[in-house]
Each structure stands twice: as structure tokens, then as C-alpha cells.
Amino acid sequence: MSETEVSPKQERFPRLKTIAAEIGLAAFGPATLYGVIEALLDGVVRNRGRVIASAKDDPFEFYSMMLVGGLGALFVTGPSLLFLILLLKGRASRRA
């Protein structure tokens, strides 16, 4: 096999899967944050139509779920965006 030929097992774009996974992970955080904001406005947490927690019935449980969900969304979004920026910046710097 010559140097120009690519083996069938070798991927054409090896970093594409990693970048796509990072974009998906970075989008997961804001989507979760949107769910937290929607639940705060409605006053209930729903899953497939069922009410899981309500601000009227148990405020401590409801607001602690909102706090954990919001912090989790920020924790997922921040590092994944940072890693995505580093991934893309590293790729661009190798071309120059």
C-alpha cells in the first residue's frame, strides 16, 4: 500500500467525530438550562406529562432540583465550550 492510499479502517476525518461530540455536549447545557427556566416559570417539573415536583407542594425539593439542574447545565456548557475552542484553535494553528 502506497502512502497516498488510505486503509479502509483509517477514517477520513479523524477529528470530526470528536468535534461533533463536543458540539453536542456544549448544546446539551443550554438545553438543560432552558428546561430549568421553563420549570421555574411554570412552577412544576414535568416528565412525559407527569408532575415530578411542584413549587406549591414542596418548595424545597423543587428549588433544590432547579439549583442542581442549573449548576449542572453550567458545568457541562463551560468546559465543553472551552474544550471545543481549544480543539478548533489547535487545528487551525497546525495549518499555518
Each residue's pLDDT tens digit, 67-77 = 888 888 888 88
Task: Look at residue 43 and tell me if it is in a domain.
Answer: yes
Over 80: is that where the pLDDT of 58 sits? yes
Task: Look at residue 29 and tell me if it is in a domain.
Answer: yes
Task: Look at residue 30 and tell me if it is in a domain.
Answer: yes
User: Looking at residues 86-92, what average pLDDT do you find?
Assistant: 71
How many distinct structural domains can be found in the chain? 1
Residue with more model confidence, 7 or 43:
43
Q: What percent of the chain has pLDDT over 70?
A: 79
For the whole prediction, is pTM greater than 0.85? no
Task: Give the number of C-alpha atoms closer than 13 A to the C-alpha of residue 61, restricted to the C-beta side.
Answer: 10
Task: Look at residue 9 and tell me if it is in a domain.
Answer: no
Over 70: is that where the pLDDT of 11 sits? no
pLDDT digit string (tens) for 17-56?
777 777 777 788 788 888 888 888 888 888 787 888 888 8
Give yes or no for a contact between 6 and 12, defined as CB atoms under 8 angstroms apart.
yes
Nearest to 24 by CA among 82, 84, 91: 84
User: What is the reported pLDDT for 44?
Assistant: 85
Task: Look at residue 47 and tell me if it is in a domain.
Answer: yes
Q: In Å, how far are 8, 34, 40, 87 from 30, measured between CA atoms?
A: 38, 6, 15, 20
Task: Look at residue 5 and tell me if it is in a domain.
Answer: no
Domain that holds residue 55: 16-87
Task: Look at residue 34 and tell me if it is in a domain.
Answer: yes
